[in-house]
Chains A and B, each alone.
Chain A
Amino acid sequence: MTNPITGLDDVVHQRVRLGILTITHEARRAEFGYLRTRLELTAGNLSQHVDVLERAGLVAIEKGYEGRRGRTWITLTAAGSRALAAEIKQLQSLIAHLAPEES
């Protein structure tokens, strides 16, 4: 859902979810454990945010095994890539427009 005042997407405009999208965009795909370490989150907390992004169609989840160890990989979808680009553009635009008024 997009905020009518700021033009920011509420799903993406959240620190942790923006972090997940950023990492998966840069890494092509990221393992659950890597995201947890880099974003300094508990497994439960990260799961909730990943679920929100998956329900919005912004990331895809792939579960598999490496040896006996289960691994979960998160991949950015095309919609996720567009949403991340739009969020960054909107943030830059807000800074450009609001900064002179605040100073």
Chain B
Amino acid sequence: MKRPLAAALVAAATLLAACGDDDVTTSATTTTAAPDAPDRIVSMSPTSTEMLFAIGAGDQVVAVDDYSNYPEEAPITDLSAYEPNVEAITTYEPDLVVLSDGGGELAASLEQIGIEVLALPAATTLDDAYEQIAQLGDVTGHGEEADEVIADMRADLAELVAEVPERATPLTYFHELDNTLYSVTSETFIGEVYALAGLENVADPADADGQSGGYPQLSAEFLVEADPDLVFLADTKCCQQTSETFGARPGFEVLQAVTEGNVVLLDDDIASRWGPRVVDLLRAIVDAVKAVPVS
């Protein structure tokens, strides 16, 4: 029952795409990109949207998904990256769709109707992130700008790392993804950024075998016992967490991060994307680290 329906959808989408073909060519004058570069890009990934605009390919982007809230000039739509709809995407007549997961069924259906797809799954290392920026540069004809963005990121990160004060024993930290204590380990992209600031992750024992994919849910009592020096809340938007709500949770008033005011509020978006704004994330982390006196 599912297959005829899917076939019908694809057929309809193909028709739509075919109808639109005539007037696509008119926008060729606006971009500086290579003539064969895509100029009707739909980005279904907030990180890719940030990367595309950072490398100067923003003019070639016609639509972005409903989570792509940065930069401001990004043409945000109600396209859902969470429950993507092939037909809705095709109404923007894209010549390239950037996806944030492995692609899967969505990529297959888009490719079936002749739309090019670039799947850029969540980066697990900084090098992955640089690689994705370079890839987007190549595809959009902004290779040089992409290289510049990468060089700038490397330089900015190195500069911030140099600011981190020397310590005999490293500071420990807890990074909170939501108010049920989901966290990240050092094996994730975010964990790598914290490591740059010389921090040790208290969540690492919770996913020692990697079965949670680097995203374990901690026991409250374990966190109290671990008593991290720094707490970073990456759930200030999703779950309205503040240093007050964190400190008011059962048993948390004894945490030294709470008593000494070392609960740091992060922007959920910056702390969950692997684009150029990772520099802002490291800056927030390094500022917090510098605020803790070296004993």
Partners in one complex: no
